[in-house]
Structure 1
Amino acid sequence: MAGVVRKQQRPSLRAWLGLTAALAALVVVVLGVLYAGHSEPGRVDRWIIQPTADSVRPPWRRVALAIDFLGEPAGAATLVVAAVAGCLLLRRPRAAVLVVAGAGLTVGTAKLLKHLVGRTIHGEGNLCYPSGHTAFLTALALVVALLAADRFGLGRTAGTLLVLTAALTAGAAMGWAQVALSAHYPTDVLGGWCTALAVVPATAWLVDRIADNGRWQRL
């Protein structure tokens, strides 16, 4: 997708990403309906952890804060600029476009869903579903993994494993930080992760269509 995957790999990875996107979108919708308007953790959330201000103590709290920073405006902008610079250095302009579009649309979708679902944490006004931090880092990891799969000429199995591992690692790291810092419920994190899995493949397809119609340089 988005020219990141070699021609012979495209059909298999596209099929996997398309199926994943559909399932992820379903999860986002189901969780959104279940927790719409709620202001308390659900049964699953309580089973995992009861959100409190001191869910994690030093030194792990400093680790959680460091990871959380990657989803803040300054940290996110730094990551995006670094990823775009890397794509341009590798002469992959379409991948650079996907970095910006994928991350931007994912975060935008997460923000829209927060207002639609209306779930809150720690008082009215603190919208929490889905987790935008988790969605952002997962989206960026997906794009970088797709580029790496192409760069190293990985086949279907290895490429799929790399993309899945990157998404799981990024989502788990940021998700842990958000729950540990009591910024989100565990189900918010799952919703954010699935938001990225749903939006990035769709964005990649859109970038491909626009690029191919405009005869942009292939990546």
Structure 2
Amino acid sequence: MRQLVRTAPPALPAVLRAPLSISAALATAVLVALGILHFHDSGLTGFDAALLPSIDGVRPPWRYVALVFDFGGEPVGSAILIALLAGVCWLVHRVRAAVLTVLGVVVTVAVTTVLKPLVGRTIHGEFLSYPSGHTAMATALALVIGLVLTERWALGRAAGVSLALGVALVAGLAMGWAEVALGAHYPTDAVGGFCAALAAVPATAWALDRVADRL
């Protein structure tokens, strides 16, 4: 097992290290800034006030679509998705990516779990909402897929960054929309969850590679 991890392709492709470090730093800044802005806040202002009335409370059939996305962020749904992605990575001999699938999501969700009581933002009067754990989880999984495809297809920096951040953005938008549509989060909660994943996954991948290279 140690040999498999040590010789496996990197979790964070070399061409993505610098650009994803920059995006992670920017995402961290946005995550912190929004947390400060909405510290112990439960009101609708600015971006949330503009978007929420047109998104919240969607009706069927779109509500059913939102519920499907939402299930993917629930414990059972997320466990299935993580197992599937980790299994595929293992089968194509991307052992570090398989480990990152689990660790990346765990670290990302841990960040959102710690931040929620610290920020103290609530929705519907009692539910801690910032940042969105569902959105963070979906973004994290998509970002891992982007990293794997970048390495497997030997993409250059521009193509790799576009792919990795592109799939992460699509997943984040889809899950974020679902959470807001179902009334579980404010739009800025979704932005915070997206940023949490952009900050946590590259850092976890970098740390994983450092440890694996020293085995």
Question: TM-score normalised to the size of structure 1?
Answer: 0.91
Q: CA deviation at 1:51?
A: 8.3
Per-residue CA distance 1:91-123 (angstroms, 9 max, x = gap): 111111111000000001101000110000001
Distance in 1 separating the partners of 2:53 and 2:44: 8
36, 42, 51: which one pairs with 2:45? 42
Q: CA deviation at 1:42?
A: 2.3
Q: Is the 8 A contact 1:51 1:185 kept in 2?
A: no
Over the matched positions of the two proteins, sequence identity in percent amounts to 55
Structure 1 residue identity aligned to 2:142: A
Distance in 2 separating the partners of 1:186 and 1:74: 24
Distance in 1 separating the partners of 2:12 and 2:34: 31
Per-residue CA distance 1:48-84 (angstroms, 9 max, x = gap): 12389x6200000000000111000010000000011
Distance in 2 separating the partners of 1:34 and 1:45: 12
Per-residue CA distance 1:10-42 (angstroms, 9 max, x = gap): 1x4111000000000000000000101012222
The corresponding residue for 1:134 is 135
Kindly indicate whether residue 6 of structure 2 is the aligned counterpart of residue 3 of structure 1.
Answer: no
* Unaligned runs of at least 5 residues, structure 1: 215-219
SS at match of 1:179: helix
Structure 1: 4+ residue segments shifted above 6 A: none
The corresponding residue for 1:186 is 187
Per-residue CA distance 1:143-202 (angstroms, 9 max, x = gap): 111001111221212111110111110000001001111100000000000000001111
Distance in 1 separating the partners of 2:170 and 2:54: 22
Structure 2 residue identity aligned to 1:142: L
Task: Answer 1 or 2: which has greater helix percent.
Answer: 2
Q: CA deviation at 1:5?
A: 5.3
105, 121, 124: which one pairs with 1:122? 124
Question: TM-score normalised to the size of structure 2?
Answer: 0.93
The corresponding residue for 2:163 is 162
SS at match of 1:37: coil
SS at match of 2:23: helix
Distance in 2 separating the partners of 1:210 and 1:50: 47
Residues 41 and 51 (structure 1 numbering): CA distance in 2 closer, same or farther, change over 3 Å? farther
Structure 2 residue identity aligned to 1:200: V
Q: Is the 8 A contact 1:55 1:182 kept in 2?
A: yes
Q: Is the 8 A contact 1:20 1:198 kept in 2?
A: yes
Structure 1 residue identity aligned to 2:10: G
Distance in 1 separating the partners of 2:39 and 2:11: 37
Structure 2 residue identity aligned to 1:56: V
Q: Is the 8 A contact 1:149 1:162 kept in 2?
A: yes
Distance in 1 separating the partners of 2:29 and 2:11: 26
Q: Is the 8 A contact 2:136 2:193 kept in 1?
A: yes
The corresponding residue for 2:4 is none
Equivalence map 1:102-117=2 (5 Å): 102-117=104-119
- Aligned-residue Cα RMSD (Å) equals 1.4
11, 17, 26: which one pairs with 1:14? 17
* Unaligned runs of at least 5 residues, structure 2: 1-8
